[in-house]
Amino acid sequence: MSPLNDKIKKLDGKVPAGPIGERWSTHKFNLKIVNAANKRKYSVIIVGTGLAGGSAAASLAELGYNVTTFCIQDSPRRAHSIAAQGGINAAKNYTNDGDSVYRLFYDTVKGGDYRARESNVHRLAEVANNIIDQCVAQGVPFAREYGGTLSNRSFGGAQVSRTFYARGQTGQQLLLGAYSAMMKEVHNGKIKSYTRREMVELVIVDGKARGVIMRNLSTGAFEKHTADAVLLATGGYGNVYFLSTNAKASNASAAFRAYKKGAYFGNPCFTQIHPTCIPVSGDHQSKLTLMSESLRNDGRVWVPKVKGDKRNPTEIPEAERDYYLERIYPSFGNLVPRDVASRNAKLVCDEGRGVSQTGMAVYLDFADAIKRDGEDKIRAKYGNLFDMYERITDQNPYKTPMMIYPAIHYTMGGLWVDYNLMSNIPGLFVLGEANFSDHGANRLGASALMQGLADGYFVIPYTIGDYFATNKFDKIDLAHPEFEKSLTDSKEKYQKLLAINGKKTVDEFHRALGKIMWDHVGMARNEKGLISAISTIQELKKEFWSNVKVTGTDVDVNTELEKAGRVADFLELGELMALDALERKESCGGHFREESQTPENEAMRNDEEFCHVAAWEYQGLDQKPLRHIEELKFEFVKLTQRSYK
């Protein structure tokens, strides 16, 4: 035992006890309430206005709190939640196919490979039904049947049809619903919405989160804002990898700077790689585009049987093709979960059987489906996706198989929060993808939208009241020394970036980091690779701070400076992710350690040693952070090995 060990904490998730179905109701009853007339005395800052932040802003403002929101885009309507295609889950059981809140709970715990809190997941499954009701009431145009009822489909390998959708634009429609509710409260004077702002610092006064320093991206000015609570709803950190399906401005800075102020970072190594993305076409590639998972319902995944087969796919006879998912997983076939499909694509490409000029792609072939159903039927189902594919690749997927490859898509890890969505810093709440809580080691399809809206519409409005009712808040002046200090620190950081004037652009560093992460902290990880990743990232970080080239000034818009600030954080976060992956010596969900696999090459958990959340505490620059632990108990869903054979 090292002397450090007495600093390691066992974290309390503040999970209520009792029957799983009653925990949330009991907890809600036990939460203290702020009297209706007193709510106007409290103020809340919300950073990020996607599904989680937007829905929280609207709901808290409706209750009477004074809300200030910040978003990085030029309008709250553009948050990256907008890009979600597939749908949103809820256990309405409208299709009479045996769904229930308990089944949605069960599937989510199992799908997350037993690394999420049972109580959180059950609450998520419970409130999911309210989300659908709320969205319909707002005018979200979900798909309908002829009789006027809502349409459902099966998604992401679920055995029941529980996914609600609005064409291939569900995220857009749900976000516009939350955004319109937000705008309603802007109209009512309860929300003040700031756009083109980036959080550069969290301000803590007397141990409580009491404000933020924002940078106005239009003018370069730093601004101080104070409140009684701060909510981060700033999304995930997939852009550590440079190439991901995330939007270009998606970044980890708000969460990471909170981490550096003492908030714990939970399970940073839990990342999700989506199997069906359009492959990289060249060095100019700036981001990756997702093709909806629904394509795997009709497309067949294959590669040539022999390596280096450069023939046109249509010239490769049936007998010389390897439909590897159907071969290895006869019962789930092409519909295995995302992590399994992704890993197998990597394996066949590593064997040299990948296709395209880069060898980093596999075929997704619709020829059989077109033969069976006719081109018209396939066009009706996937027309917009096929068009998008053709626009990007200049190839016609009706005539030649699509080429796909996995890409970073979502991060299950994030800031550690308790059952009330509060981090270990009192008054700092974290919602949506930015927190670590509900998806364990692997998120199921159509669950991200559900969690973002659950947190914002139906969890935080209850839990924040308890925090206000049980704490005292002194009035804080913006001239408070903590605000001044945070402001000076932020300014200095950006000045420093401008002063380096080295030789390599920010993007060059970002791409280099992305490559290290993808190679060693990607779909398959091992001890040697992770150790080497940590030291290469450390070197890259040093080089960044001495050789990055940021042109322009700190007044007016300077997109290079914005990117530099974010990449500085990505470099440190990348190292933390590698460290977390190294210390978690087991495979679970999207975290695949090559040393821990079953004889059939499936992820093998180590529940004896790792049935817990790792929550990292910052210890200072270049110091190894502390790894705290929150034990996970599975009282309702038995710990079993996942199998999709």
Partner 1 sequence: MSGNSAHNMSLKLKIWRQKNSKDEGKMVDYTLDGVSPDMSFLEMMDTLNTKLVKEQGDSIAFDHDCREGICGMCSMMINGQAHGPEALTTTCQLHMRKFKNGDTIVIEPWRAKAFPVVKDLMVNRGAFDEIMAAGGYVNVNTGNAVDANAILIGQENAELAMDAAACIGCGACVASCKNASAMLFVSAKISQLALLPQGQVEAESRAIAMVEKMDELGFGNCTNEAECEAQCPKGIKLENIARMNRAVTKGLFSGR
Residues marked as catalytic: 338
151 vs 532, beta carbon nearer partner 1: 151
Helix (H) or strand (E) holding 481: helix 481-500
What is the smallest separation between the CB atom of 63 and partner 1, expressed in angstroms? 9
What does residue 58 show for φ and ψ, rounded to 5 degrees?
-60, -45
Q: Does residue number 80 form part of the binding site for partner 1 (CB under 8 A)?
A: yes
User: Coil, strand or helix: which one is 138?
Assistant: helix
Report CA dihedral (109, 113, 117, 120) to the nearest 10 degrees: -40
344 vs 411, beta carbon nearer partner 1: 411
Q: Determine the interface stretch with partner 1 among 56-64, 294-302, 467-475, 477-485 (rule: CB under 8 A).
A: 56-64
82 vs 513, beta carbon nearer partner 1: 82
- Residues in contact with partner 1, total (CB under 8 A)? 83
In a 13 Å sphere around the CA of 511, the CA atoms on its Cβ side amount to: 11
Q: Footprint of partner 1 on residues 86-105 (CB under 8 A)?
A: 92, 94
Q: Does residue number 396 form part of the binding site for partner 1 (CB under 8 A)?
A: no
Handedness of CA 223, 227, 229, 231 (dihedral sign): negative
Q: Does residue number 488 form part of the binding site for partner 1 (CB under 8 A)?
A: no
Q: Determine the interface stretch with partner 1 among 79-87, 116-124, 261-269, 537-545 (rule: CB under 8 A).
A: 79-87
Q: Does residue number 247 form part of the binding site for partner 1 (CB under 8 A)?
A: yes
Q: Does residue number 381 form part of the binding site for partner 1 (CB under 8 A)?
A: no
Partner residues linked to 430 by β-bridges: 232
Q: Footprint of partner 1 on residues 206-225 (CB under 8 A)?
A: 218
Q: Footprint of partner 1 on residues 12-41 (CB under 8 A)?
A: none
User: Coil, strand or helix: which one is 157?
Assistant: coil
In a 13 Å sphere around the CA of 381, the CA atoms on its Cβ side amount to: 18
51 vs 247, beta carbon nearer partner 1: 247
The beta strands (E) that lie in 97-221 are given as 163-164, 191-194, 197-205, 208-216
77 vs 642, beta carbon nearer partner 1: 77
Q: Does residue number 598 form part of the binding site for partner 1 (CB under 8 A)?
A: no
Q: Footprint of partner 1 on residues 338-367 (CB under 8 A)?
A: 356-357
What is the smallest separation between the CB atom of 404 and partner 1, expressed in angstroms? 13
CA end-to-end span of the chain, whole Å?
41
Residue 634 CB-density burial (10 A; 0-12 exposed, 13-18 middle, 19+ buried): middle
Cα 243 from Cα 250, distance rounded (Å): 12
Contact of 235 with 214, CB cutoff 8 Å = no
Q: Footprint of partner 1 on residues 505-534 (CB under 8 A)?
A: 505, 507
136 vs 629, beta carbon nearer partner 1: 136
What is the smallest separation between the CB atom of 533 and partner 1, expressed in angstroms? 26
Q: Footprint of partner 1 on residues 178-197 (CB under 8 A)?
A: 179-181, 183-184, 186-187, 193, 195-196
Q: Footprint of partner 1 on residues 249-268 (CB under 8 A)?
A: 249
Which one among 15, 33, 83, 531 touches partner 1, defined by CB under 8 A? 83
Which one among 4, 26, 35, 139 touches partner 1, defined by CB under 8 A? 139
What is the smallest separation between the CB atom of 40 and partner 1, expressed in angstroms? 16
User: Coil, strand or helix: which one is 645?
Assistant: coil
Residue whose structure tokens are 């390691």: 8
**Site map (CB under 8 A) of partner 1, residues 287-316, x = contact:** x-xx--------------------------
What is the smallest separation between the CB atom of 104 and partner 1, expressed in angstroms? 16
Which one among 47, 116, 166, 530 touches partner 1, defined by CB under 8 A? 166
What is the smallest separation between the CB atom of 183 and partner 1, expressed in angstroms? 4
In a 13 Å sphere around the CA of 141, the CA atoms on its Cβ side amount to: 4
Which one among 14, 350, 552, 594 touches partner 1, defined by CB under 8 A? 552
Q: Does residue number 437 form part of the binding site for partner 1 (CB under 8 A)?
A: no
Which one among 141, 207, 352, 374 touches partner 1, defined by CB under 8 A? 141
Q: Determine the interface stretch with partner 1 among 15-23, 70-78, 336-344, 492-500 (rule: CB under 8 A).
A: 70-78
Q: Does residue number 58 form part of the binding site for partner 1 (CB under 8 A)?
A: yes
- Which DSSP category does 624 fall into? P
Cα 385 from Cα 364, distance rounded (Å): 13
Cα 576 from Cα 269, distance rounded (Å): 8
Q: Does residue number 173 form part of the binding site for partner 1 (CB under 8 A)?
A: yes
Which one among 392, 495, 643, 645 touches partner 1, defined by CB under 8 A? 392
CB atoms within 10 A of CB 466: 18
255 vs 402, beta carbon nearer partner 1: 402
Q: Tokens standing for 384? A: 């917009």
Which one among 62, 373, 519, 607 touches partner 1, defined by CB under 8 A? 62
The pairing of beta strand 191-194 with beta strand 163-164: unpaired
The beta strands (E) that lie in 255-381 are given as 265-266, 271-277, 300-304, 321-322, 362-365
User: What length does the chain have?
Assistant: 645
Q: Tokens standing for 20? A: 């799983």
Q: Does residue number 566 form part of the binding site for partner 1 (CB under 8 A)?
A: no
Q: Does residue number 388 form part of the binding site for partner 1 (CB under 8 A)?
A: yes
Helix (H) or strand (E) holding 531: helix 527-547
287 vs 491, beta carbon nearer partner 1: 287
Count, in order, helices (H) and strands (E) of the chain: 17, 21
- Non-local (6+) Cβ contacts of 146 within 8 A are none
284 vs 371, beta carbon nearer partner 1: 284
Q: Determine the interface stretch with partner 1 among 169-177, 310-318, 433-441, 525-533 (rule: CB under 8 A).
A: 169-177
Q: Does residue number 549 form part of the binding site for partner 1 (CB under 8 A)?
A: yes
The beta strands (E) that lie in 162-305 are given as 163-164, 191-194, 197-205, 208-216, 222-226, 229-232, 265-266, 271-277, 300-304
In a 13 Å sphere around the CA of 402, the CA atoms on its Cβ side amount to: 30
User: Coil, strand or helix: which one is 385?
Assistant: helix
Report CA dihedral (167, 171, 174, 177) to the nearest 10 degrees: -100
Q: Does residue number 148 form part of the binding site for partner 1 (CB under 8 A)?
A: yes
Q: Does residue number 546 form part of the binding site for partner 1 (CB under 8 A)?
A: no
What is the smallest separation between the CB atom of 218 and partner 1, expressed in angstroms? 5
